[in-house]
Structure 1
Amino acid sequence: MNLFPKEPQLTVVARLIICISVFFISACNSENSTSQYATWTHYGGSPEQSRFFDAREITKENVNQLEIAWVFPTEDETPYFFSPIIVDTVMYVMGKHSSLIAVNVVTGKEIWIHANLNGLTRRGINYWESKDKKDKRLIFTINNTIQAIDAVTGKSILSFGKEGYVDLREGLGREPSSMRRIQPMMPGVIFEDLLIIGSSPGENYFSPPGHVRAYNVVTGNMEWIFHTIPQPGEFGYETWPKDAYKYIGGVNVWSEISVDTQRGIAYLPVGSPTYDYYGADRIGSNLFGNSLVALDARTGERLWHYQTVHHDLWDYDLASAPQLLTINRNGKKVDAVAVATKHGFVFVFDRVTGEPIFPIEEKPFPPSEMPGEEAWPTQPIPSLPNFTRNEVTKETLNPYFTDSIKQFWYKRLEIGKSGLYIPLSDKHENITMPGALGGANYGNTASNPTNGMMYILTQEHASIYKLNKVEPPKVDLSVNELQRVKALYNTTCQTCHGKDMSGGVGPSLQKIGEQLFYDEFRSTVVNGKGQMPGFVHVDEETLKAMYRYLGGNPMSFNFRRNLEPIIPKGPVVATGGASIIPDETRALPMSDYPEEVDHPSERYTTEYGLDWPALAAPPWSSLVAYNLNDGSIAWRKPVGQDSLYVQGDQSKGAPSGVLRKGMIVTSTGLVFATAKGGKLYAFDAENGDLLWEETLSHEVNAQPSMYWLDGKQYLVINATSNFAKDSYDHSKKQGALPKGYVVYALPDKK
């Protein structure tokens, strides 16, 4: 439903006021932009994704005087993972029931609200402006499309792409309507007039391929595509079975792409092939899976690559932003690129040639026990010290466990296997450290580009894996299921939702499976919503069958669209983004190998095994500083606060917790870091001394941002998430702030 089928026209006076205000605040702040790192117009601060900010007001000596300057409330209960960007003195945030909001940071007032952007990429958006600054655009992905909004007026740019959008499902060599999930969870990166973007196609068998593409930000035309799964005649094709590109998925960049803007080189941290933990249908090393790939950012041509894991069987995709630094190596300055991995290693290369700066050795590891599987016999191990543990033993088991739990795990450790690069099996458990959560993950790396220092937020959580033989995912309903679903609908749903699901007292259910996550659908049916009662008697298999009947796939992922858009109070200029033309036909997701290709007779999968994340002793989360001039770890500090986060005695507290947070490094030698428990820290970048600590009223799950205005420096923290049950809920304390974007600054000089 679109409440504004034709977006309301701003009056001439209103448009003039907006344009004048944006021009004024732009002029006020232009004198401050003396460095390429003095703005935060990209997700990671700049296209380099260094999270480095060049400003001199906040220092080691005065950082402990920071105080809250102002707060922008999000005004709903939704946790937002959105990282604000600031252009001159306009900050773009997400809030108010999934609205994109332009806020004047001088006055704290809303300039415009574009409401009802459900499905917009969770982590952030991109900003682009023409050289004459007359065309200013916000570029983002929403519901598997790329769209553009005028950054001044907040209205959709309908000349972009086809009627205002580009379908990301097109151009991947698969039937577009069969793809339920392709847009990335990160915003991509802007370089010149291009949006370079990856994807998040999922990690199941037959998920779509994760080819990386570049689109023109004005026209929406695709300018180039890099096949991460090589096709016949392309480099790397021989590292796969014949025709593997027809059925293999993944090998995608779902996180952060870094760009050397001076050289025009894009650095891609590429993820794992499908299926993550069993690769009998992809025998070979599998380029460009788990590789750092350097491309010509203007053409997409491969310049060099390095594969950090061959034939990945552990989901050790590259997930954090490659860091671009100038290091002093043996008395010589070298422009380097460093990437941290989910399994605790740091690889460092010459940024131009791809040559390793520190030695890397191929070391042998055990073969696979699984039928048809051929684990790669060696894996690359860099000479730099790793920043995580890679094994769980009796000696390293969590000391807070009760004696009974310790005995329970002693037995499991005797039977199972733990250690680096041990292939998964259906005969025993693998206690893998780190597991599915990493190590280093998205938003977890930062650097000072000038002095060779790199910072990593790391978490050490184990996964317990065991392969199980499975049947292919079921997407069609059997005759019995169809009868059962129709009977349930006729007796329970038809009265309110209509005989043909077109609606009545209740809303239409047509294609509801495309509009809700399965968990949301299940929760609504079981628990009820609004005037709808809950139906607790419906079993899980019938729920899944009903969801498939309504157009969803419980094995897949669907981007959420609210059925009844909520238009918030304030200067709403548009709602819903560009109208997406529905598919005339909707093909089922790919569920089997093409007839003409050879393939294994069996498939195996495993759960992520995250029931015991705090299996090893704390600290579970740390901030680690690498000196890449000599390849040493300069310092390490535990971060975050959590309850024990284990099954057992939860009365004690532990000095670190689960995190996927963010950092900012400043030119004055500070590292700001957020962590579990609403924690915000300022560390001395040189030695790790804690200089300032703050506890926010709500949990933080987004990248911090920074800006400055008229000589004053501001730190922006998105504090909109709820505290977990196992953590300390600061939102209920006296004086707690509302959910929102919290802005810190030094007190005004008297």
Structure 2
Amino acid sequence: MKIVVRHGLWLAGLILAGTVFAADDGDWPNYGRDPGGMRYSPLKQIDRDNVTQLQVAWTFHLGDIADGKHDTPRSGLETTPIMVDGTLFLTTPFNRVIALDPITGKQRWAYDPKLDPHHDYGDGLINRGVATWLDDARKAGQPCRRRLYEATLDARLIALDAATGQPCADFGKSGEVSLTNVPGFSAGEYHMTSPPVVVDGVVVVGSSINDNNRVDMPSGVVRGYDARSGALRWAWDPIARHPAKGWKSGAANAWSVMATDEARGLVFVPTGSASPDYYGGLRPGDNRWANSVVALHAKTGKLAWGFQLVHHDLWDYDTASPPLLTTLQRDGRDVPVVVQGNKTGFLYVLDRDSGKPVFPVEERPVPPSDVPGELTSPTQPIPTTLPALGPQSLAAADVWGPRPEDREACRQAMHGRDSSRVFTPPSVQGGVAVPGNIGGMNWSGYAFDPSRQLLIVNVTALPFELKLIPEAEYAKATKGDSHGGEFAPQHGTPYGLYRRALLSPSHLPCSPPPWGTLVGVDLAAGKIRWQVPLGSLQVLAPAIKDLPPGSPSLGGPIVTAGGLAFVAGTLDPFLRAFDLDSGKELWKAQLPASAHATPMTYEANGRQYVVIAAGGSAKITEEPQSDAIVAYALPDQDSPP
């Protein structure tokens, strides 16, 4: 594929990213568009002046919905399509891969891997998309010259011919490789939700692992497979195991989206928490490399460097956001960096070659645990110049609620504590985690405009109530909750877990609004340029008038050369466009359901489209479901009035 340069800014932006990316500038060939995940498109047909004219160009219905009944988990629609070789490719909650005509939205082919939907897949039936690779050793028209790779919920890595949707017979066994050969594998609780990545002829895949079931959950091993044959090249385990010392753990898995740097031969991997999430007495120490971003050599899987964002995690503070690769201007020179956010709300900018912080980070003291057997890390790595992007404390005096009884219930849920702040450990007394385990920043991630040096991030502000329950009291405690909270046994530890979003009887957050924001961060200056509420929770409380704005969100932003950020993700069912310079909301369109997915944009036949998957949530059972992929475009000038 040749480089087509129609916009000089596009080429400059990708040089800044450290990789000249060979793709037509109207394509979207990776989950984050470029391999480094900037989510920046050079397209500018849709801009700040005409975005209000956007209208639905086409809608495609997948046909795959599960409502959580009939012994199957509930489905959610989190796919982000890719656009390459004139075709859109996307996945369904049942792991079907579908190819669409980008102009009409009509199906060209579909592949069904025959997923067994009856296992407990943790967060429900979801998949975020596919990766692609062009085999230069094959001539145009030969089967599987362009390949698609999907990692499935039942732990298979599948390679398909992008032209036909047929499995690539030379990959593994009849086009697929089993991913079940890991220590502690259990069907369902070990699965895949995010797309793999391909770099230097190697397909790299992580895993998703259910939280808090027991101490010794499956291994969070990251693996690299030959892109052509499917042969295993390497495996890397994020955490060391010392069973002789009585240490027990697992997970620390890479369940989110990875980034690659072909020039350096590196893959950048965000890792999650070691098991179980809320008690670490059987996994002493920092638990490296859990809760980290690591750079692995793509050919060998060997560690180039790692940076841990949370030591000895007790809050489910996964490194959920995908790493983002770009280049910043610092002290008159170009510095290739990795931008990495965390559920804590902290943002880290690291040198891409060494992993050392570009903006200062200090180890600062944090509260100790009062739980017998628990030894917390005395310090945590805190950025000292980059501001936190969301609230990190809550005082009992500051709880919010529309009625006095709401505020009193919120104070009661703090279990007698005057306040709580980030890194306050869980306890038997009970308390509040600020932020909660959905962030801060989650897998939604961020987008980067290289010309403005501006990072766009959607941030959630939703504390969670936490309480450790002694093992002898756990069975009784599970029968006494009236708040719809979540119990988890944490088998093998002395404590089970209770947690819930800190909501009042009015079903609204106890923390002061806004409960979700869109933030523009000037990474050249290391400052927040603007911050605006994102979305609304009116759908949860329709009878309450003058409800403050802001909604938790899952599903990230993209940015374009038209000066726009597009983002959905909120509990209210809208796709929105914001002005990159001011943060002003310029446009929104109502969707068939909330869109907990990241949009994408492409050009086809001279027309720019913006596409979003709008299917509702697999976890929020009150939300309506849909199976819609919706494309927006400006009015077609060739169409009759």
* TM-score over 0.5 (shorter chain): yes
Q: TM-score, normalised by structure 2?
A: 0.83
Contact 2:592 2:628 survives alignment (8 Å): no
1:129 counterpart = 2:17? no
List runs of 5+ in structure 1 lacking aligned partners.
1-25, 232-239, 475-539, 542-553, 557-589, 593-601, 732-737
Q: Match for residue 610 of structure 1?
A: 501
The structure showing larger relative contact order (alpha-carbon pairs under 8 Å, at least 6 residues apart) is 1
1:50 counterpart = 2:38? yes
Deviation at 1:700? Answer: 0.9
Structure-to-structure mapping, 1:687-698, within 5 angstroms: 687-698=582-593
Among all aligned residue pairs of Structure 1 and Structure 2, give the percentage whose two residues are the same amino acid.
32
1:89 counterpart = 2:86? yes
- The number of residues matched between the two structures is 582
Q: Match for residue 655 of structure 1?
A: 549
Q: Which of 192, 196, 216 is residue 200 of structure 2 equivalent to?
A: 192
- Give the secondary structure class of the aligned counterpart of 1:405: helix
In 2 relative to 1, CA 645–683 (structure 1 residues): closer, same or farther, beyond 3 Å? same
Q: Match for residue 264 of structure 2?
A: 263
Please give the alpha-carbon distance, in whole angstroms, between the structure 2 residues aligned to 1:30 and 1:472: 65
Letter in 2 for 1:210: G
Contact 1:326 1:450 survives alignment (8 Å): no
In 2 relative to 1, CA 101–412 (structure 1 residues): closer, same or farther, beyond 3 Å? closer
Deviation at 1:459? Answer: 0.6
Indicate the RMSD between aligned Cα atoms, in angstroms: 3.2
1:673 counterpart = 2:561? no
Contact 1:361 1:381 survives alignment (8 Å): yes
Q: TM-score, normalised by structure 1?
A: 0.72
Q: Which of 202, 226, 229 is residue 216 of structure 1 equivalent to?
A: 226
In 2 relative to 1, CA 423–106 (structure 1 residues): closer, same or farther, beyond 3 Å? closer
Q: Match for residue 749 of structure 1?
A: 637
Letter in 2 for 1:702: A
Larger Rg: 1
Structure-to-structure mapping, 1:24-63, within 5 angstroms: 36=21, 38=25, 39-63=27-51
Q: Which of 151, 156, 166 is residue 155 of structure 1 equivalent to?
A: 166
Deviation at 1:431? Answer: 1.0
- 1:441-463 Cα shifts (integer Å, max 9, x gaps): 01232212454321111111111
- 1:580-606 Cα shifts (integer Å, max 9, x gaps): xxxxxxxxxx976xxxxxxxxx52231
Please give the alpha-carbon distance, in whole angstroms, between the structure 2 residues aligned to 1:376 and 1:95: 41
Q: Which of 161, 164, 170 is residue 175 of structure 2 equivalent to?
A: 164
- Give the secondary structure class of the aligned counterpart of 1:608: strand
Letter in 1 for 2:282: D
Q: Match for residue 228 of structure 1?
A: 238
Contact 1:90 1:102 survives alignment (8 Å): yes
- Give the secondary structure class of the aligned counterpart of 1:744: strand
Please give the alpha-carbon distance, in whole angstroms, between the structure 2 residues aligned to 1:196 and 1:223: 10
Contact 1:715 1:745 survives alignment (8 Å): yes
Q: Match for residue 71 of structure 2?
A: none
Deviation at 1:296? Answer: 1.6
Deviation at 1:249? Answer: 0.7
Structure-to-structure mapping, 1:472-491, within 5 angstroms: none
- 1:378-406 Cα shifts (integer Å, max 9, x gaps): 11110211011112223431242x11222
Structure-to-structure mapping, 1:201-212, within 5 angstroms: 201-204=209-212, 205-212=215-222
Please give the alpha-carbon distance, in whole angstroms, between the structure 1 residues aligned to 2:501 and 2:256: 21
Contact 2:596 2:617 survives alignment (8 Å): no
Deviation at 1:223? Answer: 1.0
Contact 1:623 1:638 survives alignment (8 Å): yes
Structure-to-structure mapping, 1:323-362, within 5 angstroms: 323-362=324-363
Please give the alpha-carbon distance, in whole angstroms, between the structure 1 residues aligned to 2:355 and 2:90: 37
In 2 relative to 1, CA 124–608 (structure 1 residues): closer, same or farther, beyond 3 Å? farther
Contact 1:283 1:311 survives alignment (8 Å): yes
Contact 1:81 1:123 survives alignment (8 Å): yes
Deviation at 1:230? Answer: 2.9
Contact 1:642 1:726 survives alignment (8 Å): no
Contact 1:367 1:375 survives alignment (8 Å): yes
Please give the alpha-carbon distance, in whole angstroms, between the structure 1 residues aligned to 2:275 and 2:64: 37
Contact 1:644 1:654 survives alignment (8 Å): no
Letter in 1 for 2:45: E
Q: Which of 526, 550, 563 is residue 631 of structure 1 equivalent to?
A: 526
Where is the strand percentage greater, Structure 1 or Structure 2?
Answer: 2
- Give the secondary structure class of the aligned counterpart of 2:501: coil
Letter in 2 for 1:216: D
List runs of 5+ in structure 2 lacking aligned partners.
12-20, 67-75, 118-124, 480-486
Q: Match for residue 54 of structure 2?
A: 66
Where is the helix percentage greater, Structure 1 or Structure 2?
Answer: 1
Q: Which of 694, 699, 704 is residue 594 of structure 2 equivalent to?
A: 699
Q: Match for residue 715 of structure 1?
A: 610
**Further displaced range: 299-308 or 32-41:** 32-41
Please give the alpha-carbon distance, in whole angstroms, between the structure 2 residues aligned to 1:153 and 1:725: 36
1:740 counterpart = 2:636? no
Deviation at 1:651? Answer: 5.4
Contact 2:40 2:447 survives alignment (8 Å): yes
Contact 1:100 1:117 survives alignment (8 Å): no
Please give the alpha-carbon distance, in whole angstroms, between the structure 2 residues aligned to 1:126 and 1:441: 21
- 1:410-439 Cα shifts (integer Å, max 9, x gaps): 34446135112111111x212111111111
- 1:287-314 Cα shifts (integer Å, max 9, x gaps): 1011111122222121111111111111
- 1:106-137 Cα shifts (integer Å, max 9, x gaps): 44432222246436861112222212454122
- Give the secondary structure class of the aligned counterpart of 1:607: strand
